[in-house]
Amino acid sequence: MTAKPPSLAELQTRFQAAIVDGSDDVLALIPANSRTSNAVLLGVYRNAYVGRLVEVVRNAYPMLARHMGDEAFTLMAQRYVALYPSRHANARWYASEVPELLSRDPFVAEPELREIALLERQLDLAFDAPDAPVLDLAGLAQHPPETWGGLAFVPHPSAAVLDFETNAFEIWRALKDEEAAPAAVLEGPHAFLVWRRNTVPSVRRLGAEEHMLWSEAARGKAFAGLAEMAAVYDDPDTAALRVAQYLNGWLSAGLISKAVT
């Protein structure tokens, strides 16, 4: 008795289930070769699936892998592969939900894991974020000084702020420099700015005042408004000067795409 052959759609559903869920149902449609069983041959796809995606995760989070150690990282990545089937045409984006997995049990007990992952993911996003013009001091000088108070600054599309609680950045930096990483500790709220400088992803710490001003500038607040906020935050006599200094830093770092009125 021969069963009716499956449609292409049915075959693909069963084949995918065999790879992702380990179902053996599709084996009935696969002959052995002259040297080995059909299970061994199907196993090539099964093994390659997990192995390939674990490598995608490892390549996306190299310092996290170094911090966790090979065995723990591989277990985490295998868990990710099991819980997060790829929905992406491009494997480039496959590992982007690793920080979400790390915010869950049991990983949440080590909050620096998620923050290291967030940092690595953001650096990756900055690497191939959209291109945009970069405004420099000479470009800003095209605007007459009397208009500066009304100027707002459009951030480069690669720029993003990360809010951390742990010393994940110091751990990441030490691992990257192949130095002994400090023990993970809770530091309280602090922030980092990640962006692409020319073609190179960059990161630096933001002080509390700069964090506030950058966030407001990114929301479209103009120079005069930023100076007013700075005047409330700290010494009002030097507020405009401080904002000008921050702005100078943003311009020279390639963080601003354009100034608009």
Partner 1 sequence: MTAEKCPPANAEGSSQKPPYLGFGLGLRPQHYQDILEGNPNVDWFEVISENYMVPGGQPLKMLDRIRARYPIVMHGVSLSIASTAPLNEGYLRDLKALAKRSEPVFISDHLCWTGVHGVNLHDLLPVPYTREALDHVAARVHHVQEYLGQAIALENVSSYVQFSHSEMSEWEFIAELTRRTGCWLVFDVNNVFVSAFNHDFDAYAFIAGVPKERIVQFHLAGHEHNMSHIIDTHDAIVCDEVWDLYRTALRHFGPVSAIIERDDHIPPLDELVAELDVARSVAAEMLKPAAADA
Query: Residue numbers of the site for partner 1 (CB under 8 A)?
Result: 5-9, 11-13, 15-16, 19-20, 29-31, 33-36, 38, 40-42, 44-45, 48-49, 52-53, 56, 85-92, 94, 126-132, 157-158, 196, 199
Shortest gap between Cβ of 79 and partner 1 (angstroms)? Answer: 17
Shortest gap between Cβ of 142 and partner 1 (angstroms)? Answer: 24
CA distance 245 to 113: 34
For residues 185 and 200, which CB has a smaller minimum distance to partner 1 in the complex? 200
CA distance 254 to 239: 23
Shortest gap between Cβ of 209 and partner 1 (angstroms)? Answer: 30
For residues 3 and 180, which CB has a smaller minimum distance to partner 1 in the complex? 3
CA distance 19 to 50: 9
Shortest gap between Cβ of 66 and partner 1 (angstroms)? Answer: 20
Q: How far apart are the first and last CA of the chain?
A: 79
Q: Are 167 and 184 in contact (CB under 8 A)?
A: yes
Whether omega before 106 lies within 30 degrees of 0, making that bond cis, reads: yes
The two structure tokens encoding residue 193: 């700015």
Q: Are 20 and 86 in contact (CB under 8 A)?
A: no
Give the other-Cβ count within 10 Å of 149's Cβ.
14
Half-sphere exposure of 39 (CA within 13 A, CB side): 4
For residues 119 and 239, which CB has a smaller minimum distance to partner 1 in the complex? 119
For residues 7 and 142, which CB has a smaller minimum distance to partner 1 in the complex? 7
The two structure tokens encoding residue 85: 């089937």
Shortest gap between Cβ of 126 and partner 1 (angstroms)? Answer: 8
Give the other-Cβ count within 10 Å of 1's Cβ.
2
Shortest gap between Cβ of 136 and partner 1 (angstroms)? Answer: 19
For residues 32 and 260, which CB has a smaller minimum distance to partner 1 in the complex? 32
Shortest gap between Cβ of 36 and partner 1 (angstroms)? Answer: 4
For residues 34 and 142, which CB has a smaller minimum distance to partner 1 in the complex? 34
Segments in the chain forming alpha helices (H):
8-20, 38-60, 62-68, 70-83, 98-102, 111-127, 137-140, 168-176, 208-218, 223-233, 239-252
For residues 87 and 219, which CB has a smaller minimum distance to partner 1 in the complex? 87
